[in-house]
Structure 1
Amino acid sequence: MEDLIIRPMTAGDVEDAERVSDEGFFELDTRMRRTAGPAPERRSTAHRAAWLERTHHLVRTDPGGCWVAEDTSGVVGTAVSFRRETLWCLATYAVLPGHQGRGIGAPLLAAALHHGRGCVRGMLSATGDQRAVRAYHRAGFELHPQMRLTGRVDRSAIPVDALAKVRDGSAGDVDLMDSLDRLARGAGHGVDHELMLRQWHLLVTDTTTGSGYVYVDERGRPALLAASDRRTGARLLWSALAEAHDQVTVGHVTGANQWVLDVGFAARLQLEQEGYLGLRGMKPPTPYVHSGALL
């Protein structure tokens, strides 16, 4: 496309990038909707605000990893990526419906991947969109199927000791959390903990028998969990589920984390397949439930 420009994202582009992402994923969810599944929805006001804050954060920390595709109509595609220590992650990648299949996605992804040069590991969370997963496979990512658990928690199944030794976390726990991140995925979240502490509720446990943390996001879902062992991970997941008062989703569950299924089935949640975890230079992290965008 002669009028297409791939350029670094600026703070002024973030709202346009959110619109592209929202429209792109809404169209994908509509196209791939399961017959018995809920009707796709656009982002809520709270979720949109969280998306905008996260992307502004990544534009500040990783300007070389955040890109937009622009033509005469405006911003039509976006790719947001970041590096933490020796790990490269893809947070968002979308092309506006009606502009897909026109050669926009490939140069966008290439620009984001260039930001990860020199990184020994890579992570991304992909939907089931076939064009995207083929592109990730060509880029050298192994694709690991993901699952999600959904439903209303059977509160009578919550173990009586689920909340034992689990407390509210704070910025004072960042060193502990980064050490757990490094054990699981080879790199700490670093400055991303500052963002998550503003947006989400943090639960932490740190005892002689195990340590770990879980963030509960603005939609009441366990958003990111890392633990030193599976038993501690299960205790933290139960603690997060205990905070749910309506429908809950535990997403981004890989086959390496069967302990999550143990908890989910005990809580009477329903299991579905959901997209792929793309990995390069690493095995699926465990005990770990990754964030879709901050990985």
Structure 2
Amino acid sequence: MILRPVRDDEEDAEVVREITAAAFGASRQIGGDPAAGAPQDGARPDTAARERGRTRHLARTDPGGCWIAQDEAAGPVGAVLSSRREGTWGLSLLAVAPGAQRKGVGKALMARALVHGRACLRGIICSTQHPAAPRTYRRAGFTLHPAMRLTGVVDPAGLPPLDGAVHEGTARHRDLMDSVDRRTRGGAHGSDHEELPRHFRLFVVDDLAGSGYCYADDTGVELLAATSRRLATRLLTAALVSMPQGRQVQVPGLTAEQEWAVDVGIAAGLEISNAGYVCLRGMRPPNPYIPSRLFL
């Protein structure tokens, strides 16, 4: 087996997507978890496009953190995607094809990704419930924070009116979002704010009480950060109200510190379930914050 860097091209982006689909298909069967970090519906063109976009984006910004494991006979059998953002290291993906699991492939990929983040003070990973995932991350020195997921059809009637303005975000809000990132997670997402708007709607609040932002699409929330729980509640409420009527949605990655988000979900009629872990090193659970499954 050899490890080679992920190339910024469509061929490698598709290779990573196929490994991910195979790996997380097995993960769902073993762990009963369709969430954190795993594609929800690999057959959907928009889901496949955002996974390929994520891979190419990170291959450009973090070539030292993105690797493919190649077996001489079987071909590509594993992939890892990681990033460094202002002293915060994030593991966006660690996937090993079912036939190559328990053979040291994941360990080798994880080790290479950790080398990429060796100078970072903080680290964050969204983990599935697959038994091997939290074990791997705990051995790497991460604290495991059990996570919840909100799912269901939004009942707008249960949500209170917004207590202030929520605006459509644009590229001019980049500095605002980076500032909120630094306050909540210790490091700005930086160039990730160029890729995320390609696939998600952006909601922004900015008033005398503080600021915040939220990325969402018609299936749920991808990332949310704010300077206060009040503003985070406003953003999450606005995002849920925007969901298509009758559509199943989800809000994953909620630790116990995100009770404000759980309360919004309860008001919206969503169900609460266990959903993997948010794994942290060198930092407390960001709050108020909902991590991105793609960019943490």
TM bucket (normalised to shorter chain) is: over 0.9
Contact 1:77 1:94 in 2 (8 A): yes
Contact 2:28 2:130 in 1 (8 A): no
- Partner SS state of residue 214, structure 2: strand
1:240 correspondence with 2:236: no
Distance in 1, Cα, partners of 2:184 & 2:98 = 36
State the shift of 1:31 in Å.
Answer: 2.6
Identity of aligned residues (%): 45
In the superposition, the TM-score normalised over structure 1's length comes to: 0.94
Trace 1:98-109 onto structure 2 (pairs within 5 A). 98-109=99-110
Distance in 2, Cα, partners of 1:160 & 1:238 = 9
- Partner SS state of residue 205, structure 1: strand
Runs of 5+ in structure 2 lacking a partner? 34-39
Trace 1:67-146 onto structure 2 (pairs within 5 A). 67-72=67-72, 73-146=74-147
- Counterpart in 2 of 1:226? 225
Which region of structure 1 is more displaced relative to structure 2, 224-233 or 5-14? 5-14
In the superposition, the TM-score normalised over structure 2's length comes to: 0.93
State the shift of 1:41 in Å.
Answer: 4.6
Distance in 2, Cα, partners of 1:123 & 1:41 = 24
CA shift in 2, pair 1:53/1:41, >3 Å: closer
Distance in 1, Cα, partners of 2:7 & 2:266 = 44
Contact 1:90 1:293 in 2 (8 A): no
- Counterpart in 2 of 1:167? 167
Distance in 2, Cα, partners of 1:71 & 1:131 = 21
State the shift of 1:43 in Å.
Answer: 4.2
Trace 1:174-193 onto structure 2 (pairs within 5 A). 174-193=174-193
Distance in 1, Cα, partners of 2:285 & 2:187 = 13
Distance in 1, Cα, partners of 2:16 & 2:237 = 35
1:6 correspondence with 2:3: yes
1:294 correspondence with 2:295: yes
- Counterpart in 2 of 1:30? 29
State the shift of 1:209 in Å.
Answer: 1.6
- Partner SS state of residue 80, structure 2: strand
CA shift in 2, pair 1:188/1:41, >3 Å: closer
- Counterpart in 1 of 2:58? 58
Runs of 5+ in structure 1 lacking a partner? 35-39
- Counterpart in 1 of 2:280? 279
Contact 2:32 2:129 in 1 (8 A): no
1:25-50 Cα shifts (integer Å, max 9, x gaps) = 0121123337xxxxx75342110111
- Counterpart in 1 of 2:37? none
State the shift of 1:236 in Å.
Answer: 0.4
- Partner SS state of residue 257, structure 1: helix
1:208 correspondence with 2:202: no
Contact 1:22 1:43 in 2 (8 A): no
Distance in 2, Cα, partners of 1:87 & 1:41 = 29
Distance in 2, Cα, partners of 1:233 & 1:41 = 28
RMSD: 1.3
- Partner SS state of residue 88, structure 1: strand
Distance in 1, Cα, partners of 2:153 & 2:186 = 34
State the shift of 1:263 in Å.
Answer: 0.4
State the shift of 1:119 in Å.
Answer: 0.4
Contact 2:146 2:278 in 1 (8 A): yes
